[in-house]
Amino acid sequence: MGVLTGRTALVTGAGRGIGRGIAERLARDGARVAVHYGSREETAKETVAAIEEAGGSAFAIRARLGVPGDAETLWREFDRHADGLDILVNNAGIGTSRPFGEIDEEEYGRLFAVNVKAPHFITQLGAGRLRDGGRIVNISSGLARTAAMPQLMAYAMTKGALDVFTRDLAKVLGPRGITVNSVAPGIVDTDVNADWLRASEEAWQGAAAYSALGRVGTPADIGDVVAFLASPDGRWVTGHWLDATGGSLT
C-alpha cells in the first residue's frame, strides 16, 4: 500500500514535463490522479496511460487556463470523475516571456492570467472540495529569488506573486490542517527548455554548471520533492518556499 492510497490528487498541466513527473510520482505512491491539460489531449492521455501501465489510477480533464470561467470549467470536469480532493498541485504555467522593452500588454496579461489568476481561483473554488488535512503545492521557480534575469522579468514576477499566495493561504487554510507550500525548480530537462538546453553540448554543460550538484534537473527530481510535501511526512511543513534547484541559488 502506498502512502497516498485512497487519496485523490489533481495536477494542473500534467500532460508533460514537470507536471507529468509529479503526476506519475503521486500515482506511484497510491493516489488517484486527475491529469489536467489545456489543449494537448494526446500528451494527457499518454500520462494517464503511463500511470495505468505502472499499476496506478488516473483520468484526464481538460480546461484551458487564462480565460474567463477557467476554474469553473476545470472543477466541472473534475466533478464528473471524483467526489473530493486531497492534493492540489498548481503546476500549469507559461514558462517564458519577452524582455521588459519588448513585452506587450497582451502577453503580460496572459502570463498573469495563467500563472497567478488561474491558481488563485482554482484553489478558491477547490477549497470546498479539498478534505481537511489536505495538501496544496504551488510550483514556483528559482527565478523568483535568484539573481536578476531581465529577459524573464514578467515570468519571474508571476512566480513571486504565487509565493505570496502560498505564504498567506497557509494561514487561511491552516485551521483545517491543510498545508500550502511552494516548490521552486531550477533548470529542468523538459520540452519547454529543449530548444536551448539541447542546442549544443556547451549549452547543456553550461546549464548543468548552475547547479551545485553539477547536473540538469529532471521532472522526477521535482516530483519526488512534491511527493514528500503531499505525504504524511510533510504534515508539519506549511507556508514554505522549498528550493528544488539543485543548489543553483547557492
Residues noted as catalytic: 140-141, 155, 159
Nearest to 188 by CA among 119, 139, 131: 139
Burial of 208 (0-12, 13-18, 19+ CB in 10 A): middle
* Phi, psi at 132, each rounded to 5°: -55, 140
164 vs 241: CA distance, rounded Å: 10
91 vs 78: CA distance, rounded Å: 16
Residue with cell 520540452: 191
Burial of 175 (0-12, 13-18, 19+ CB in 10 A): exposed
- The angle subtended at Cα 64 by Cα 62 and Cα 67, nearest 5°, is 150
- Distance from first CA to last CA of the chain, Å, rounded? 38
15 vs 47: CA distance, rounded Å: 6
32 vs 1: CA distance, rounded Å: 13
Helix then strand then coil, % of the chain, to nearest 5: 45, 20, 35
Answer for the pair 36, 61: CB distance below 8 angstroms, yes or no: yes
